[in-house]
Amino acid sequence: MENLAPQQFRPGTVYLNTASAGLIPVSAAEAVQEAVRERVEGRGGDAFPAVAAARASFARLAGLPLGRVAAGSSVATFAGLVAAALPEGAEVLVAQGDFSSVVNPFHVRAGITVRTVALERLAEEVRPGTALVAVSSVQSADGRLADLPAIRAAARAHGARTFVDVSQSAGWLPMDAAEDDYTVCVAFKWLGCPHGVAFLAVPEDLGGLRPVLGGWLSAEEPWNSTYGPVTAYARGARRFDTAQALFCYAGAAPALALVEELGVERVHAHDLALAARFRSGLAALGHTPVPAPGSAIVSVPGLGARRDALSRAGIETSERAGNLRAAFHLYNSAAEVDALLDALETSARVA
């Protein structure tokens, strides 16, 4: 269980914090640097091919036709787009404690109702009148996986749509985005992109969305639509594009290409093996993590206060709701898992 791409990643720490932000591969960093250098020197030109390449990579990873994928910069923006399209009186069902960018855009939308239930009860709580179920595929706080097959089945049975945020799973957990109405993702975590890259997948029928955030990039012919109102929107999901951070997308294209090259199935097996090694070591130390079978994120109650000491020792994790959160990805190794376990054992003896 070694680093799957040793030539592409150069961590200066034991980095186990991908759930906060992933490491950027060398190829992506070099692409960003070159894009900035071109701008400094006044050369180069069209930066949009990188957006097209990144969009195509994400579509392939998601198992979707290219025409179903919009490109932008944040989950909240795309969630707001979906919230704006809901009819008056609609009910949105969300999971308790889910990430704010997923749920808040629905809370601030006037004229609809947001009902919050435990993650484990989402499927059974779908009812007549539920218009949308919005949930993260993997919970940011503790790594728990949503039961997407059950949620989808319940939604279909009641005529509801599904909105799934895969920000904490895309890159290590194989996607089946074709099974959902809307799929949204920021790519700076498990996909290795710079901050500022996000994607939205929509249904073939466009899901009743309107391009309320669209500018010239949402046009069928963007370069012929730079002045005045857009008269012809793109036929597919590109009509929902929002302004793209082009330097970020310069790095996104090679980062996503690397994920494709390695293969998500391979990354999935690697990440889960490391997480299982950590859970086993925790048991030997007398700690019980939050139950999250099948997750690359391990959250340990009561150890959050040790995050700063671990950081000083060169081990990067995160603290969420008092828990110590460790996330294991393609650039991590078994030796790094053991380093974290050794540090936790040592700190316990000192305490």
Q: How does DSSP assign 47-75, residue by residue?
A: -HHHHHHHHHHHHHHHT--GGGEEEES-H
Residue 14: strand pairing partners: 315
Looking at the chain, the whole-number percentage of residues with pLDDT higher than 90 is 93
Q: Left, alpha or beta for 316 (phi > 0: left; psi -120 to 50: alpha)?
A: beta
Domains 14-25+263-350 and 27-261 share a fold: no
Cα–Cα distance between 102 and 285 in angstroms, integer?
Answer: 35
pLDDT tens for 316-325 read 999 998 899 9
For residue 96, how many other CB atoms are within 10 A of its CB?
Answer: 13
pLDDT value for 114: 98
pLDDT of residue 346: 85
Q: Which of 258, 255, 248 is nearest to 33 (CA)?
A: 248
CATH superfamily placement of domain 14-25+263-350: Aspartate Aminotransferase, domain 1 (3.90.1150.10)
83 has a pLDDT exceeding 60: yes
Rounded to whole angstroms, how far apart are CA atoms 18 and 259?
14
- In this model, does residue 347 exceed pLDDT 80? no
Q: What does the pLDDT read at residue 84?
A: 96
Per-residue pLDDT, 348: 58
Please state whether beta strands 113-117 and 91-95 pair in parallel, antiparallel, or not at all (unpaired).
parallel
Which strands sit side by side in the sheet containing 297-300, from one edge to the other? 297-300, 323-327, 318-320
The pLDDT value given to residue 25: 98
Q: What does DSSP say about strands 161-165 and 182-186: parallel, antiparallel, or unpaired?
A: parallel
State pLDDT tens for residues 192-248.
999 999 999 999 999 999 999 989 999 999 999 999 999 999 999 999 999 999 999
Tokens of 56: 């195509």
Phi-psi region of 196 (alpha: psi -120 to 50; beta: other; left: phi over 0): left
Q: Cα(311)–Cα(2) distance, rounded to whole angstroms?
A: 22
Listed in order, strand segments (DSSP E) in the chain are: 14-15, 69-72, 91-95, 113-117, 130-136, 161-165, 182-186, 198-201, 297-300, 315-316, 318-320, 323-327
Q: What's the pLDDT tens digit per position in 95-113?
A: 999 999 999 999 999 999 9
Mean pLDDT value across the chain: 95
Identify whether the C-beta of residue 89 lies closer than 8 Å to the C-beta of residue 112: yes
All structural domains of the chain with their residue ranges: 14-25+263-350, 27-261
Task: Give which of 225, 268, 328 is closest to 19, Cα–Cα.
Answer: 328
* Residue 44 pLDDT > 90: no
Task: Identify the pLDDT of residue 351.
Answer: 52
149 alpha carbon, distance to own chain's centre: 19
Note the pLDDT tens digit of each residue in 129-182: 999 999 999 999 999 999 999 999 999 999 999 999 999 999 999 999 999 999
In the chain, % of residues over pLDDT 70: 98
Question: Residue for token digits 């809307």?
Answer: 182
Asked if CATH classification 1.10.1060.10 holds for the domain at 27-261, the reply, yes or no, is no
Flag whether pLDDT at 314 surpasses 60: yes
Rounded distance between C-alpha atoms, residue 128 and residue 226, angstroms:
44
Here the tokens at position 65 are 């036709």
pLDDT 10s digits, 269-294: 999 999 999 999 999 999 999 999 99
